């Protein structure tokens, strides 16, 4: 964009009028397509909502998370999985999952899948991962993503080979600091440290025959009490593993209102400041710095996406896993879904395109509605979570980084 065109846009912003002499027809169409010019606010909201609902109710693609166990070998203080119902997935549940996927392929022409292995700690059930993973692989679906979320303690060479065999392409591991800090925040159930074992396993992964087979995402859960520790981990890992297949990123801890540690959590603007500072001072991009108009929301809003627990119970959100009141169905039942009220709340009850405040917000075209779980809490539990896009009120700060 040259200075003349920019000056003309500034004039439009001041006057609210688009002079015919200012822009060519091609320029007007471009600005309208990219929501710079909006001639009918109500029509724009309806168009965006239609795009959103089309994706939400798409049956040809599924985002599936499987938790073969709720058991975990760690005792992290901030973990929301306080339920941890002990148990392991049975052969019957495994077969029910495979039959359900076959049925979806036959009845709804489902042909693509995003797959995540979750827990608890999924590597406690490596034999189940291998058995079920190979069966899913044999269905012939186009698996676009195949990820495992693990604490990394059991990620030895044998299990890495299993992950490769079932087609896993991304491994997410968490390190909450270097040895002393991490071991305080993420100990074993018996209180012993976990840092050294995780690093030993990462050493084996990055130096072994599968070093180029996986994308490794190391999450560092941070709040105000350990934010400076993020950079210690970031620099240490990138120096130890100079690989294009490694990314280290911050995970923002969210705690319940009743938790006394909630005051240590980042707010929206504070996390934005952290990311902007990272790019300005360290030339490290932790989050996208330029908004897009890809109207994609969290998987929980699609009624066809699900998280399956070890007993075959179905949930919508990772945070719901193990909470019996938030079960929406069971893979053993026919039909599999039974809690239609909760499904409706997630799918359409928290539709931000239907909220008056959001409809009048100029950030709507680049906002994905925020976290549906937090929106659910706001609407149905009277909470006041901030669900707005990080760009809100900070767009100039981001654009100055380009």
Whether pLDDT at 208 is above 60: yes
Nearest alpha-carbon partner for 62 in 165, 137, 144, 168: 144
> What is the rounded average pLDDT for all residues in the chain?
90
Side-chain half-sphere CA neighbours of 392 within 13 A: 18
| Residue 298 pLDDT level (bands cut at 50, 70, 90) | confident
CA distances from 64 to 219, 300, 302 (A): 21, 10, 11
Burial of 310 (0-12, 13-18, 19+ CB in 10 A): buried
Euclidean distance between CA atoms 192 and 186, whole angstroms: 9
Query: What burial letters (b/e) apply to 108-144, b meaning 16+ CB within 10 Å?
Result: eebeebbbbbbbbbbbbbbebbbbbbebbeeeebebe
Instruction: Name the one residue in this structure whose structure tokens are 């406690």.
Output: 124
Q: How big is the chain by its Cα radius of gyration, in Å?
A: 23
Mean pLDDT of 309-333: 94
Q: Do 192 and 220 touch, CB atoms closer than 8 A? A: no
User: Model confidence over 105-154: pLDDT tens digits?
Assistant: 999 999 999 999 999 999 999 999 999 999 999 999 999 999 999 999 99
Nearest alpha-carbon partner for 63 in 365, 293, 308, 274: 308
- DSSP at 305: -
Euclidean distance between CA atoms 205 and 218, whole angstroms: 13
Structure tokens of 376?
């659910």
> What does 187-249 look like in DSSP terms, one character per residue?
-BTTS---HHHHHHHHHHHHHSTTTTT-EEEEEEEE-TTTHHHHHHHHHHHHHH---TTEEEE
Whether pLDDT at 263 is above 60: no
Instruction: Name the one residue in this structure whose structure tokens are 């606010």.
Output: 41
CA angle 270, 271, 277 (to 5 degrees): 90
Side-chain half-sphere CA neighbours of 105 within 13 A: 15
Mean pLDDT of 312-335: 94
What share of the chain has pLDDT > 70, as a percent? Answer: 95
**Phi, psi (5° rounding) for residue 262?**
-60, -30
- 373 Cβ contact list (under 8 Å, min separation 6): 300, 317, 319, 320
Read off the pTM.
Answer: 0.91
**Phi, psi (5° rounding) for residue 148?**
-125, 135
- Model pLDDT, residue 258: 40
Residue 348: strand pairing partners: none
User: Model confidence over 81-110: pLDDT tens digits?
Assistant: 666 678 999 999 999 999 999 999 999 999
**Which of 347-356, 362-371, 376-385 comes out lowest in average pLDDT?**
362-371
Packing angle of the helix pair 126-137, 157-165 (nearest 10 deg):
20
């Amino acid at each position: 964009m040259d200075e003349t065109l920019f000056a003309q846009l500034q004039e439009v912003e001041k006057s609210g009028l688009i002079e015919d002499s200012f822009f060519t027809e091609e320029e007007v169409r471009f600005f309208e397509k990219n929501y710079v010019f909006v001639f009918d606010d109500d029509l724009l909201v309806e168009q965006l909502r239609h795009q959103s609902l089309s994706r939400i109710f798409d049956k040809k693609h599924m985002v599936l998370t499987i938790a073969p166990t709720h058991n975990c070998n760690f005792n992290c203080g901030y973990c929301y999985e306080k339920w941890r119902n002990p148990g392991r997935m049975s052969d019957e549940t495994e077969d029910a999952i495979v039959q359900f996927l076959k049925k979806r392929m036959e009845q709804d022409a489902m042909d693509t899948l995003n797959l995540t292995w979750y827990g608890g700690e999924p590597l406690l059930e490596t034999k189940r991962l291998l058995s079920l993973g190979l069966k899913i692989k044999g269905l012939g679906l186009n698996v676009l993503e195949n990820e495992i979320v693990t604490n990394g303690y059991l990620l030895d060479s044998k299990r890495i080979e299993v992950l490769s065999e079932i087609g896993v392409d991304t491994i997410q591991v968490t390190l909450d600091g270097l040895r002393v800090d991490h071991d305080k925040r993420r100990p074993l159930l018996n209180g012993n440290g976990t840092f050294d074992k995780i690093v030993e396993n990462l050493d084996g992964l990055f130096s072994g025959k599968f070093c180029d087979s996986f994308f490794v995402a190391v999450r560092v859960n941070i709040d105000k009490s350990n934010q400076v520790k993020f950079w210690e981990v970031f620099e240490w890992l990138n120096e130890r593993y100079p690989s294009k297949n490694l990314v280290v990123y911050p995970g923002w801890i969210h705690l319940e209102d009743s938790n006394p540690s909630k005051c240590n959590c980042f707010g929206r603007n504070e996390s934005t400041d952290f990311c902007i500072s990272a790019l300005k001072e360290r030339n490290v991009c932790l989050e996208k710095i330029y908004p897009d108009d890809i109207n994609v929301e969290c998987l929980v809003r699609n009624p066809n996406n699900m998280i399956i627990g070890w007993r075959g119970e179905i949930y919508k959100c990772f945070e719901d896993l193990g909470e019996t009141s938030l079960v929406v169905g069971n893979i053993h039942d026919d039909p599999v879904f039974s809690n239609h009220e909760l499904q409706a709340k997630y799918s359409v009850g928290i539709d931000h395109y239907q909220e008056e405040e959001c409809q009048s917000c100029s950030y709507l075209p680049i906002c994905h509605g925020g976290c549906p779980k937090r929106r659910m809490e706001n609407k149905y539990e009277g909470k006041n979570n901030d669900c707005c896009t990080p760009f809100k009120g900070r767009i100039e700060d981001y654009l100055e980084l380009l």
